[in-house]
Chain A
Amino acid sequence: MFRVIDGGLETTVQDFPGRVGYWNVGIPPSGPFDGVALRLGNLLVGNPEGEAGLEMAIMGPKLEFSEEATIAITGADLSPKLNGNPVPMWRSIEVEKGAVLSFGLCKNGCRAYLALGGGVDVPSFLGSKSTYVQGGIGGVEGRKLTKGDVVRTGATKPNSRDGRSRRLKEGLIPKYPTELELRVILGPQDDYLEDDFLLEMYASGKYAWKVSPLFDRVGVRLSGPAHKWRPPDRRPPSGAHPSNINLVYCGLGIVGVAGEVPTVCGVDGVSLTGYTSVATLIGADMSRLAQVKAYDKIRFRAVTLEEARRAREELGKTVDEGAVVVD
């Protein structure tokens, strides 16, 4: 059990893979935006990889533990401290009763994760504990954590509580650069743009889009030049603006262009769009999108479905018991 002294900027309960199966009624899967970081954190505290933990962004919370606990902090480096002293990330830590966990400056990335031995004890809604703030469901009362919340932990018995410490293998700790390349599959509405523009901006990895200050779990808005649209006789039908189309369902990770502004859809994204989606992030790169923040740069490189599949296979190998060293 822990008590929230300060909720931080946006701290929520998330489990993996989240609330899957309700996209057709507009409920997104939610879950950890950086699924890799939370899953590895869970393995470090001896939990099943999908167990609920805390996701925090840029400014972490301040928590007081009212009983001893095994924790691991993964993801972005938000300068974690235990009782005021810096504490290492990517390894299990035994926390004493009364200990205070706090965070400081965001040194890299955007989102950090707190995995707790035994998980977080909140009610499950539609099969998941994940918080979807816009819909007011999951987690603690469907909202982000705030001062005074008391959250129970240890709902699930950890796989192993042998008192031995666990850390991630050297070299497996992800890096969170401020300029990164994200892989996409072109489409489904890539035929609205002129080929040379599509290639330059969304396929070749040449152009660096800037992340705007409007970025959250719903979507990451980018800024860049105006788009080069095909003339009406060489593109499918549009509305008043070439980017306006009839509503279609869209997948997570679409790069939707509203007017001239692209937004990459995140894990709390919307299931329908009335704008063209010129490209879609591959599944393996969703967790990397989670770690960008305002003024970072993103380059898009288009890959084939075969390459996307290989990338997911490789990622699957990374998140595995084999990644953990028991000391």
Chain B
Amino acid sequence: MEGTRLSSQAGVLERLRTPYVSYKRGKPPFGEYEEARYLPSGDRYLLVEFGDRLNIIINCKALAFDQEIKKSKIPGILETCVGQLAVLIYYDDFIVSFGELVARLKEIEKRISMIEQMVLASRLIEIPVLFHDRWTIEAANDYSAKMKPVDDNCDTVIKYNALKDLKELIEYTTTPQHWVANMGWMPGNANAFPLDPRYEIRAPKYNPSRTWTPQGTLGVGTADKVIYPLRSPGGYQMIGRTPVKMYDPEQRNPSFKRSIQLAMVGDRIRFYPITEEEYLEIEKEVHEGSYRYRISSYELFSVKKYLEFLEDVKEESRRELERRPWAGGHHV
């Protein structure tokens, strides 16, 4: 009886699931799939996923795919969003059906290759951060009082990564450059991961998520870091706060003349530590419009050279990884 019931359920789901490439673990070391997965996201969006590990190869594959889509001018595509592992396509199925769209995109997928040869124009943006600040501590305390108790967020991240103390957490956060792999979530938000794997730290997310996070919070979730551009809900562990803006719809500061957001996919971010006095001083300058953002001019970023660097630090990265309690498990 049980068997019959289960198989008929499987039949119902089978009919409802849109046919797509089922999940198979991406191949090491970068986790790219043999073939991209074409996942429907409702009747208006299609998600094309290239791999299951956060790194520059998968991100570049998504970037290259997105550029090819833009060139192809497939009718019915209204917008594309390129992210760290996947590209989301917003389409009008009165113009192009899911089936037709997937067929056209699979043709494009075949054309993208030679990711290792890509050279990208990239800026370095330096962001001042006050670590373990009173505002994010207050936000965590508020969550503890109203939702459920959480530990001091810096402590949580220190323990989760078996770091020694706050000083080491700051060192691991401020030493490497971070690659901006995604923009979005909220306007101006940049998701970045460290380019140097020796400094990879991870953190579990809030469950359930917070209803509010201070603007400028530096958050860590999985291997990802963000600066919350606005006071907003959120799920990442809060380890510090920046007084600078990631989003400015008024575009008063020269750094926002070209765009309402500070960063772009393919930029690099380095965080640097400041004191509370410096925080308040910069905050005042940002408010007055006199603050000058620390942004480099465009430099060429060679994927090939970067892969050589990864090879050079491979042994050291492996040793670092051994210290991390999360490394043994199967983690995103």
Contact = CB atoms under 8 A, between A and B. Distances in A.
Interface of A: 20-27, 125, 134-137, 142, 184-191, 195-196, 198-199, 203-204, 214, 218, 232, 235-241, 243-254, 258-261, 270-275, 277, 280-283, 302-305, 308-309, 312
Given A186-B16, A258-B206, 11 more contacts: A21-B78, A26-B188, A187-B18, A188-B47, A199-B9, A250-B41, A252-B44, A261-B209, A272-B184, A280-B43, A308-B42
Given A186-B16, A244-B205, A246-B85, A254 B222 contact: no
Contact of B205 (A199, A241, A308): A241
Contacts of A252: 42, 44
Interface string B22-43: 1100000000000000011111
B44 A135 contact: no
B88 interface: yes
A271 B81 contact: yes
Nearest to B24: A236
Contacts of A187: 17-18, 20, 39-41
Contacts of A190: 17
Given A21-B79, A270-B185, A305 B40 contact: yes
A218 B44 contact: no
Give the top 7 A-B pairs by smallest Cβ distance, nearest first.
A259-B207, A280-B42, A251-B45, A240-B204, A249-B88, A188-B39, A308-B43
B15 A249 contact: no
Nearest to B5: A196
B222 A280 contact: no
A280 B41 contact: yes
Contacts of A251: 41-42, 44-45, 88, 90
Interface residues of B, number: 74
A185 B222 contact: no
Nearest to B209: A258
B47 to A, nearest CB: 5
Contact of A248 (B47, B79, B80, B208): B47
Choose among A23, A272, A308 the residue with the greatest number of B CB atoms under 10 Å from its CB.
A272
Residue among B39, B85, B208 facing the most chain A CB atoms (10 A cut-off):
B208
A240 B223 CA distance: 11
B240 interface: no
27 contacts: A21-B79, A23-B81, A24-B183, A25-B188, A26-B184, A26-B187, A135-B230, A135-B249, A185-B43, A186-B13, A187-B17, A187-B18, A195-B13, A239-B222, A246-B332, A247-B85, A248-B83, A248-B85, A249-B87, A253-B42, A273-B185, A274-B224, A275-B205, A282-B42, A304-B18, A305-B98, A308-B43
A318 to B, nearest CB: 16
Contacts of B331: 237-240
A254 B10 CA distance: 23
B56 to A, nearest CB: 14
Contacts of A274: 205, 221-222, 224, 235
B330 interface: yes
B15 A196 contact: no
A195 B9 contact: yes
Interface of B: 6, 9-10, 12-13, 15-18, 20, 22-23, 39-45, 47, 49, 52-54, 78-88, 90, 93-94, 97-98, 182-189, 191, 202, 204-209, 211, 221-222, 224, 229-230, 232-233, 235, 247, 249, 259-261, 326, 330-332
A45 B159 CA distance: 62
B79 A26 contact: no
A246 B84 contact: yes
Contact of B204 (A239, A245, A260): A239
Nearest to A241: B207
A235 B182 CA distance: 24
A23 B90 contact: yes
B332 A272 contact: no
A244 to B, nearest CB: 5
Contacts of B209: 258-259, 261
Contact of A237 (B13, B81, B332): B332
Contacts of B230: 134-136
B332 A244 contact: yes
A246 B205 CA distance: 11
Contacts of B52: 236-237, 246
B235 A236 contact: no
Nearest to A212: B208
B204 A272 contact: no
Contact of A196 (B6, B80, B94, B222): B6
A263 B158 CA distance: 30
Given A249-B47, A261-B208, A309-B93, A218 B233 contact: yes
Nearest to B18: A305
Contacts of A254: 41-42
Contacts of B224: 246-247, 274
Contact of B186 (A135, A232, A248, A303): A135
A249 B81 contact: yes
Nearest to B52: A237
A24 B82 contact: yes
A199 B9 CA distance: 7
Nearest to B16: A302
Contacts of A189: 39
B117 to A, nearest CB: 25
B276 to A, nearest CB: 26
A214 B211 contact: yes
B80 A24 contact: yes
Contacts of B9: 195-196, 199
Nearest to A183: B43
